[in-house]
C-alpha cells in the first residue's frame, strides 16, 4: 500500500488543530483554551486566547497586567501538568497569587488576597520570578502569548506542508525521469540486430577462352588456376 503524502499532511494538521484541553476534573475546557508550545513550558498547559494571555514556564497562565491563573491541561487526567489548586474550582480556571519567592496560593475570591488570609501556600517547579501584586506591562522573557504560539504552530505546519509538498514533487519528478531513462535504455538494449546473411558462392567464370584460361571469381579475386582440355572432335 502506497502512502499518500497529501493525506498524511492533512491528518497531521487536523490532529494538531483538534487537540483539546481539560480542567482538573476531566471536563473539557472551552475552545478558547489553546495548548502552549513545549518550547515555552515544561508542561502541556493550555491558556486562554481571549485576552492575549501568556504561557508561563512554571505551568501557570498570565493575563498581562492583571493576574496569573491555573487554566487547563492537554491530558484529561492532568498527568502532564502540575497539580495547581486541584481541589478548588476544578471545573474552571482559578487565580493564583505569588506571596513570596516560589510561594503561591489559590486566590478563590478575587476581592480578597489569599496571601494575607492564611490560605495554604505551595511551590512550583521552574518558578516565574515576578510579583503578582504589581501589574506587568508587557511580556516577560519567560512568557509567550498564546496567540503567538497558536500562530507559530499553524505557521510551522504550513511551512512543513510546503516543504514536504516540494520534496514530494521533486521525488516524483526524479522517479519519472529515471523510469523514462530505463525504458529508453531497454529499447536500445533489446533492439533487433540485422545480421548479414551469408552470401551465395561467387560464380566462377573464365577470364579468357583458351587452353590455359585463368579463372577468376565474379568479384575479381583470383583463384587457383587450372588447365582445361578440349575433348577430341
Q: What is the pLDDT of residues 14-33, one digit of tens each?
A: 455 558 999 999 999 999 99
The answer to whether residue 116 sits within a structural domain is yes
Instruction: Taking residues 64-72, report their average pLDDT.
Output: 94
Examine the pLDDT at 143 and tell me if it is beyond 60: no
The answer to whether residue 115 sits within a structural domain is yes
- The torsion angles phi and psi of 35, rounded to 5 degrees, stand at -65, 145
The answer to whether residue 55 sits within a structural domain is yes
The answer to whether residue 75 sits within a structural domain is yes
Instruction: Taking residues 164-172, report their average pLDDT.
Output: 65
Contact in structure between 103 and 121 (CB atoms under 8 Å): yes
Cα distances (Å, whole numbers) of residue 176 to 71, 164, 167, 180: 53, 18, 14, 6
The answer to whether residue 200 sits within a structural domain is no
107-130 pLDDT, tens per residue? 999 899 999 998 999 998 764 343
Examine the pLDDT at 211 and tell me if it is beyond 80: no
Distance CA 71, CA 61 (A): 7
pTM of the complete model beyond 0.85 = no
Instruction: Taking residues 76-87, report their average pLDDT.
Output: 88
Contact in structure between 43 and 128 (CB atoms under 8 Å): no
Q: What percent of the chain has pLDDT over 90?
A: 32
The grid coordinates of residue 132 equal 503578582
Contact in structure between 112 and 82 (CB atoms under 8 Å): no
Q: Which of 31, 87, 82, 30 lies closest to 56, judged by CA?
A: 82
Examine the pLDDT at 216 and tell me if it is beyond 70: no
DSSP annotation of 146 reads H
Residue 134 pLDDT grade (very low, low, confident, very high; cuts 50, 70, 90): very low
The answer to whether residue 14 sits within a structural domain is no
**Tally of structural domains, the chain:** 1
174-207 pLDDT, tens per residue? 777 767 666 655 555 554 444 444 444 444 444 4
The answer to whether residue 223 sits within a structural domain is no
In which order are the strands placed within the sheet that holds 67-70?
121-122, 103-107, 94-100, 67-70, 61-63, 54-56, 143-145
- HEC-encoded secondary structure of 47-87: EECCCCCEEECCCCEEECCCEEEECEECCCCCCCCCCCCCC
* Domain encompassing residue 38: 20-129+138-144
In which order are the strands placed within the sheet that holds 72-73?
33-35, 45-48, 72-73
Distance CA 64, CA 108 (A): 19
The answer to whether residue 48 sits within a structural domain is yes
Examine the pLDDT at 138 and tell me if it is beyond 50: no
Amino acid at each position: 500500500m502506497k502512502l499518500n503524502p497529501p493525506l498524511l499532511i492533512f491528518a497531521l494538521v487536523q490532529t494538531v488543530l483538534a487537540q483539546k484541553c481539560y480542567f482538573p476534573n476531566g471536563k473539557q475546557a472551552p475552545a478558547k483554551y489553546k495548548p502552549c508550545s513545549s518550547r515555552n513550558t515544561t508542561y502541556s498547559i493550555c491558556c486562554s486566547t481571549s485576552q492575549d494571555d501568556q504561557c508561563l514556564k512554571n505551568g501557570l497562565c498570565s493575563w498581562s497586567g492583571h493576574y496569573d491563573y491555573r487554566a487547563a491541561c492537554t491530558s484529561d487526567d492532568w498527568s502532564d501538568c502540575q497539580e495547581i489548586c486541584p481541589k478548588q474550582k476544578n471545573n474552571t480556571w482559578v487565580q493564583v497569587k505569588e506571596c513570596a519567592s516560589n510561594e503561591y496560593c489559590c486566590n478563590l475570591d478575587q476581592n480578597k488576597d489569599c496571601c494575607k488570609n492564611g490560605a495554604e501556600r505551595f511551590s512550583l517547579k521552574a518558578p516565574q520570578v515576578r510579583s503578582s501584586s504589581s501589574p506587568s506591562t508587557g511580556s516577560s522573557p519567560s512568557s509567550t502569548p498564546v496567540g503567538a504560539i497558536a500562530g507559530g504552530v499553524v505557521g510551522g505546519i504550513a511551512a512543513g506542508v510546503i516543504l514536504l509538498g516540494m520534496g514530494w514533487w521533486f521525488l516524483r519528478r526524479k522517479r519519472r525521469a529515471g523510469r523514462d531513462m530505463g525504458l529508453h535504455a531497454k529499447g536500445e538494449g533489446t533492439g533487433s540486430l540485422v545480421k548479414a546473411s551469408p552470401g551465395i558462392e561467387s560464380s566462377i567464370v573464365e577470364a579468357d577462352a583458351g587452353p590455359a584460361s585463368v579463372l577468376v571469381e565474379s568479384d575479381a579475386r583470383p583463384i587457383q588456376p587450372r588447365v582445361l582440355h578440349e575433348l577430341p572432335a
